[in-house]
């Protein structure tokens, strides 16, 4: 997003917000397009913050859209191969790499502090807002943008994988994933390919062992585009070791703390416990450091049985049964 991008507030009627939330639930897709007659003045890099009236009459923040381009109703299908789900004079499309999910957050207490350009503000009476104040798209000042960012959280500034894209929880696959063409290991020579396949299968065997034990105990065990496993309030990172324990431990520590940050707004994982899971024992000094200094539980799959320290075993009884 350009540093010069302007920020605007757009109001959705409650039924429009309800439809957007239902669409997210059905498709698991972020918000990629909005409509409105006043979007004509938007330009690439501008940000549209979307609000609606809350169930108690206050103000809810639904999300934001970073504008990539604006098209008229007559041009949108021809130029974007997009058939609008609703009629509007203009449609603003999100940047693909910055598309965000619709999610309602009550910001009634913040509403009186929101300021517009030129100087103006919202009026809240007895915790209720009149939608007539928001019939026009209004430009926000810098301080107000900061308030909205804080209300939504820094997940509102996502980038690509490895960054802050909102986690997408999904089931853990029953079969190992296929080796990607963009793998860090080249397909040639053959020994490197064999090593990659061996690690891939070992990684998946551990992951399935975690998921199967969780499901047998009635626990939900999922993954995201980041974390190997999300279960029982914990984030699990699986590492396979082939004469490289230190690099694998280093990678696990960095990834787990990164994932702790990324998943901080995911329900049930706001203050997640962290676990590094290995297919071979690591040195006692490394294990002690992870547990005591990094506060990461160390788990090892030995044969068909998981082993760990007493604290971790007590915390995750279902994994060690």
Domain count for the chain, please give it: 2
Whether residues 11 and 151 fall in one domain: yes
CATH code of the domain in which 81 resides: 3.10.590.10
Residue 163 within a domain: no
Whether residues 11 and 127 fall in one domain: yes
pLDDT tens digit string along 196-206? 677 788 889 99
Cβ atoms 222, 170 nearer than 8 A: yes
Neighbours of 119 (CB within 10 A): 7
Q: Are strands 234-239 and 273-278 parallel, antiparallel or unpaired?
A: parallel
Identify the CA nearest to 63 among candidates 100, 97, 94: 100
Residue 1 within a domain: no
Residue 124 pLDDT level (bands cut at 50, 70, 90): confident
pLDDT tens digit string along 225-263? 888 999 999 999 999 988 788 888 999 999 999 999 888
Residue 77 within a domain: yes
Whether residues 15 and 151 fall in one domain: yes
User: Reduced to 3 states, what is the DSSP secondary structure of residue 40?
Assistant: helix
Whether residues 44 and 184 fall in one domain: no
Tokens coding 254:
């960095």
Query: What pTM was estimated for this model as a whole?
Result: 0.49
Whether residues 146 and 189 fall in one domain: no
Residue 199 Cα distances to 107, 212, 238, angstroms: 47, 20, 11
Identify the CA nearest to 76 among candidates 12, 30, 33, 20: 33
How many Å separate Cα 240 from the centre of its chain?
A: 26
Residue 26 within a domain: yes
Identify the CA nearest to 221 among candidates 233, 230, 208: 230
Residue 90 within a domain: yes
pLDDT over 90 at 118, yes or no? no
User: Range of 237's domain?
Assistant: 170-319
């Amino acid at each position: 997003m350009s540093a010069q991008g302007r920020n605007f507030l757009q109001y959705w009627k409650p039924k429009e917000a309800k439809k957007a939330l239902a669409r997210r639930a059905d498709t698991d897709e972020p918000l990629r397009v909005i409509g409105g007659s006043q979007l004509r003045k938007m330009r690439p890099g501008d940000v549209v913050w979307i609000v609606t009236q809350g169930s108690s009459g206050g103000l809810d923040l639904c999300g934001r859209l970073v504008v990539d381009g604006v098209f008229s109703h007559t041009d949108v299908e021809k130029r974007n191969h997009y058939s609008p789900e609703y009629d509007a004079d203009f449609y603003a499309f999100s940047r693909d790499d910055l598309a965000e999910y619709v999610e309602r957050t009550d910001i009634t207490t913040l509403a009186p502090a929101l300021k517009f350009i030129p100087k103006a503000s919202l009026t809240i009476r007895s915790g209720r807002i009149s939608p007539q104040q928001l019939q026009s798209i209004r430009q926000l000042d810098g301080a107000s943008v900061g308030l909205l960012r804080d209300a939504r959280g820094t997940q509102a500034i996502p980038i690509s994988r490895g960054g802050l894209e909102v986690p997408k929880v999904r089931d853990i696959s029953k079969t190992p994933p296929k080796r990607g063409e963009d793998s860090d290991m080249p397909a040639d020579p053959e020994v490197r390919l064999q090593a990659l396949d061996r690690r891939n299968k070992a990684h998946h065997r551990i992951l399935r062992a975690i998921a199967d034990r969780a499901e047998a105990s009635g626990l939900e065990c999922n993954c995201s585009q980041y974390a190997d496993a999300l279960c029982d309030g914990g984030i699990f990172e699986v590492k396979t070791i082939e004469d490289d324990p230190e690099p694998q431990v280093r990678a696990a520590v960095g990834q787990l703390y990164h994932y702790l940050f990324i998943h901080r707004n995911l329900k049930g994982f706001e203050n997640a416990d962290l676990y590094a899971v290995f297919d071979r024992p690591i040195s006692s000094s490394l294990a002690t450091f992870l547990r005591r200094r990094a506060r990461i539980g160390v788990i090892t799959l030995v044969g068909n049985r998981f082993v760990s320290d007493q604290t971790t075993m007590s915390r995750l009884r279902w994994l060690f049964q």
